Amino acid sequence: MRPLGDTPLLGLLLASSLVLSAPGSPRVSNLKNFPYVLGTEPPPISTSNSTNTTNPLWPWTHYLPPPSLDPWYAPPANWTSSAPGTPLKIRRHAYPTLAIRNAHDTFQVLYRSSDTHGGPSWAVTTVFIPTSHASCPQSNCSHALVSYQVPTDSASVDAAPSFLLQAREPYGEMRDLLARGWFVAVPDYEGPSASYCAGKQAGHATLDGIRAALAVAGDFGFRSAGARVGLWGYSGGAFATAFALELAGSYAPELRISGGAVGGPAPNLTTVGELMNGRDTAGLVVASVVGVTKQHPHAVEFLRGRLRDTGPFNESAFMAVVNMTGVDALEKYARQNVYDYFENGAADLWHPVVQKVIDGDAVLGRHGAPRGDVPVFFYKAVADEMSLVGETDALIQRYCEKGASLLYHRNQLGGHNDELWSGRLRALDFFSHVLEPDDGSKKMVSGINLTLPDRGCLTQNVSVPLDVLELLPDWWWTG
């Protein structure tokens, strides 16, 4: 569930006392020597609790190690007694090397969250501080934070954004948010087990990431009083964002959200899986089924009991996805019929045991709707080939019947990948509307007048052409 292409870091669409790490200063990356070999099985997890930055399993001091090798990715003692959203650890100046334009510095927060079942879990958010904020407190202190859900699309803990964003960002959206002077928080919303497509886990971790980031951002000069908060995600990131918006009213009713942007959503994992099977996207079917069932051990046991023992399409080959990034899975399983891995084909993969898990944890619209006081911008290509537009139309109608306030753009031009680029400027204009004071300082860049209803819903058919040269991230030219 992410845009496809031949970009270098496709794997991004591809962790109750407060513990502070030692400060340091980031250096600017030349993007040439990021040392991690994507898709390789990581060495055994280090069990050291030392705060020494020298790690014999990870000698590259200019980059943080992957989560499986980083002792920092572990909650402190008695963490389960804290409330969801409680910061448990802070890592100041988190990235030794910064590779994202318009970012002045980073910090990371490990925080208490909740899994799909509401039990104690934890996650990590990485917060990027804009370069304009460097002059704070004298001037330009940031007043807005956008939680940006990167499409992770992987069931591997080492494909977490908190690690891979050290190399570069995939699309330039973070660059553009930072250019507007806003903090950008990127949660590892799949949680400590990399539960890809577990919607409630993702929604909880996203909301708790905002709680945790806001709780400590004031220590970094953020103007916490009257702060404005946005959520944004496309494709796989839209899945986490939409679940967060659905759950916010019941799970985080105190959280003041100024607006959310949801692009290219895929409301139903089952129907999306059927569309992607046998195509170049088949690897995401494997990753999603493995990821969502991680929250449901009985479903994992069932699936493993139905996978074939012999032949090229066997259990070992199927479960190997837990050591792959999204791009690795796309390459490994490209154009395969995923049903061939199972003794009874599709009947096993979509068996009621698995289907019940998907229906309860990977289908949008069943856990509430965005609150009526939170404006939401949905955008999707009518010809989206990864998720039928009719399913999103039905989801919007369901939200509206439950009192949501939203603007829905149905783009008549392009497909799933195109709308990633075509919708971005409209999303940025939306955030200018909801995050900036109405003082004439808003920067509108899309050339399209966004009509945001005060209450209720508005659906518009638009025709926005793809202008990729306008939108390509900086590393396209320099990487």
The residues annotated as belonging to the active site are 235, 384, 416
SS3 156: coil
Task: Specify which residues 184 forms β-bridges with.
Answer: 128, 146
Contact assessment for residue 201 and residue 244, using Cβ atoms and an 8 Å cutoff: no
270 vs 375: CA distance, rounded Å: 28
For 161-217, the DSSP string reads HHHHTTT--SSSHHHHHHHTT-EEEEE-TTTTTT-TT-HHHHHHHHHHHHHHHHHHH
A 10 A CB-CB count for 32 gives: 6
Give the whole-angstrom CA distance, residue 128 versus residue 295. Answer: 29
Q: Are 323 and 11 in contact (CB under 8 A)?
A: no
Question: Could you give the C-alpha distances from 345 to 280, 303, 307, 313, in angstroms and in order?
Answer: 19, 11, 9, 11
- The half-sphere exposure of 88 on its side-chain side, counting CA atoms within 13 A, is 27
Helix (H, G, I), strand (E, B) or coil at 19: strand
Q: Parallel, antiparallel, or unpaired for β 259-263 and 228-234?
A: parallel
Give 222's Cβ-side CA count (13 Å radius). Answer: 27
- For residue 439, the tally of other CB atoms under 10 A from its CB is 6
**What's the full length of the chain, in residues?**
479
- Nearest-Å Rg of the Cα atoms of the chain is 21
Q: Which helix or strand (DSSP H or E) is residue 432 part of?
A: helix 424-435
* Residue 409, strand partner residues: 379, 460
Burial (CB count within 10 angstroms: exposed 0-12, middle 13-18, buried 19+), residue 71: middle
Q: At 145, phi and psi to the nearest 5?
A: -130, 130
Strand, coil or helix: 461 = strand
User: Is residue 391 within 8 Å of residue 242, measured between CB atoms?
Assistant: no
- Comparing CA positions, the residue from 1, 92, 9 lying closest to residue 473 is 9
**CA nearest to 63, candidates 15, 89, 31:** 31
The rounded distance, in Å, linking the Cα atoms of 414 and 221 is 42
The pair of three-digit structure tokens given for residue 425, joined into one six-digit string = 């400027």
Distance from C-alpha of 473 to C-alpha of 83, rounded to nearest angstrom = 38
